[in-house]
Amino acid sequence: MDARLDYFSSPTAGKALKHFMSAGRTLKDSPLPAVTQELVALRVSQINGCAACIDMHTKEAAAAGETPVRLNLVAAWREATVFTDAERAALELAEAGTRVADAATGVDDELWTYAAEHYDEEQLTSLVVLVSFMNAVNRLNIIAQQPAGDYEPGQFH
């Protein structure tokens, strides 16, 4: 499968994505734990069906030492015993923030309070921006039908 658009050769995409990817690098340096970032990016991408992002974040997490068991259980995190309470809060917030059309309440006050028990304000800010960022990246890749499977860890860093 070939992508519909070549973001790397488009002058418009090049200008826009330069800033977009800079935001992604800023998130990597945020106080939100790196493992949490990868789990959240993976879960958002699973929900949206973005194969390119699932490929990328599974491989990035594995390269950073994440276990196959935890990676395989992200899709069913509610029933899995391998995630911390903080990770569960982040995954729940990521789902609610991604499924805004499916869940009329979005991120309700109860969920926000639960997340705030595990993350400080700067980490929550990073988490919210990450969920929004991943939803946007997923849409860019899905619309253009970016192929998956060839990503190498660190490829875009």
What's the mean pLDDT in 78-92? 98
Average pLDDT across the chain, whole number? 93
- Note the pLDDT tens digit of each residue in 113-125: 999 999 999 999 9
- Domains, in order of start, for the chain: 33-144 (1.20.1290.10)
Which residue is it, tokens 């990328």?
A: 56
Go through 25-63 and write b for each residue having 16 or more CB atoms within 10 A of its CB, e for each that does not: eebeebebbebbbbbbbbbbbbbbebbbbbbbbbbbbee
Average pLDDT over residues 22-38: 94
Alpha-carbon gap, residue 87 to 92, rounded angstroms: 9
**DSSP 8-state symbol, 128:** H
Q: Report the amino acid identity of residue 63.
A: A
